[in-house]
Amino acid sequence: MASQARPCAFCGADSVFALQARDRNRETTEARFTYNRCPACETIFMVDVPADLSPFYAGEYHRFAADGTPEWEHNPTLAEVETARVAMLRRLAEPGGRLIDIGAGPGGFAAAAKHAGYNVTAIEMDERCCDYMNRRLGVHAICSDEPIAELERQAPARVISLWHVLEHLRDPGEMLATAAQRLQDAGMLAIGVPNPRSLQFRLLRARWAHLDAPRHLCLIPEQALASRLRAHGLRLVAATTDDLFGRICALHGWTYALRRRPAAKDSAAVTVRAAQAISRLLAPVERRDLRGPALTLLFVKNPQ
Ligand SMILES: [Zn+2]
């Protein structure tokens, strides 16, 4: 595969070919997608992003049970992920004030934040998710597939959260700039992203579940995010890949890599056991030095 010289989707530097990947997770298409790597900021990004990405989100991207409730309402572990995220915010600042959750999905984090005392606004493109948040969770949800434009219209917030959102965006840098601008002084920006410096990506490459072609358009490392946000007056105050969500992602990563496609479908018990064994074996490596598959980062704006 010839190298395709393209400007980095995050910093604009010249990039080099990294890999080609299919939609192993959901098999929405047989097409192959090319990802480049930026030698300057180490972002991995898709070149030639299709104009219409909606077919790749078709079907059950957000899962709802027959009674109309989303998966996190029935899965204590998923609910625990969200309360753990809120607890991480609370360790750094008393809860309360305005919180904007971007790409809120079916509202698991929004509900946990509301419960902790935040005044939550959610921005989400999926109508069913917005309907659930507005009607069932009492969270103000704005249905929009233009999150940057929507965020620009919002009053300044004490917390803005981007849980696994940036990797889906065509212009993650513009989202970061807007989020930084919409934060109050001493406000917090919470970011979750797949980790391109993870052990799993280094070993699994195109088989890595959290590459998630073609839904993930870019994988930005921690240093590049911190450097960009520093220019906007935000300082990194917490970074981990060993939170609950990171550990769940680690097991998913090994499990999906062992499955035949589509990797997101349920698989045999023997596959799950094998993945658990690999995960246990490699956990000491994955849990050190931000080598896990999912980064959780907290930034504070203009800290004293
Ligand atoms: Zn770059």
CA of 12 from ligand 1 middle (Å) equals: 6
Residue 115 has pLDDT above 90, yes or no: yes
CA of 224 from ligand 1 middle (Å) equals: 8
Residue 252 has pLDDT above 70, yes or no: yes
5 pLDDT tier (thresholds 50, 70, 90)? confident
CA of 43 from ligand 1 middle (Å) equals: 5
Report the 10 Å Cβ neighbour count for 247.
19
CA of 285 from ligand 1 middle (Å) equals: 27
Q: Residue 103 — left, alpha, or beta (φ > 0 → left; ψ -120 to 50 → alpha)?
A: left
How far CA 298 is from CA of 17, 64, 138, 222, 271, in Å, comes to 31, 30, 26, 11, 35
pLDDT digits (tens, 9 = 90+) for 193-228: 999 999 999 999 999 999 999 999 999 999 999 999
- Cβ(174)–Cβ(147) under 8 Å? no
What is the rounded distance in angstroms from the CA atom of residue 191 to the CA atom of residue 102? Answer: 10
**Residues whose beta carbons lie less than 5 angstroms from ion ligand 1:** 8, 10-11, 13, 38, 40-41, 43
CA of 152 from ligand 1 middle (Å) equals: 25
Q: What is the pTM of this model?
A: 0.95
Token representation of residue 133: 């948040």
The mean pLDDT value of the chain amounts to 94
Q: What is the pLDDT, as a whole number, of residue 63? A: 84
Residue 3 has pLDDT above 60, yes or no: no
- Smallest Cα–Cα separation from 235: which of 143, 191, 300, 148? 300
CA of 249 from ligand 1 middle (Å) equals: 25
What is the rounded distance in angstroms from the CA atom of residue 28 to the CA atom of residue 111? Answer: 30
Which class for 242: exposed (0-12), middle (13-18), buried (19 or more C-beta within 10 A)?
middle
2 pLDDT tier (thresholds 50, 70, 90)? low
What's at 134, amino acid-wise?
Answer: N
pLDDT digits (tens, 9 = 90+) for 139-163: 999 999 999 999 999 999 999 999 9
CA of 38 from ligand 1 middle (Å) equals: 5
CA of 8 from ligand 1 middle (Å) equals: 5
Bridge partners, 64 (sequence order): 70
CA of 174 from ligand 1 middle (Å) equals: 14
CA of 302 from ligand 1 middle (Å) equals: 25
Q: What is the pLDDT, as a whole number, of residue 11? A: 97
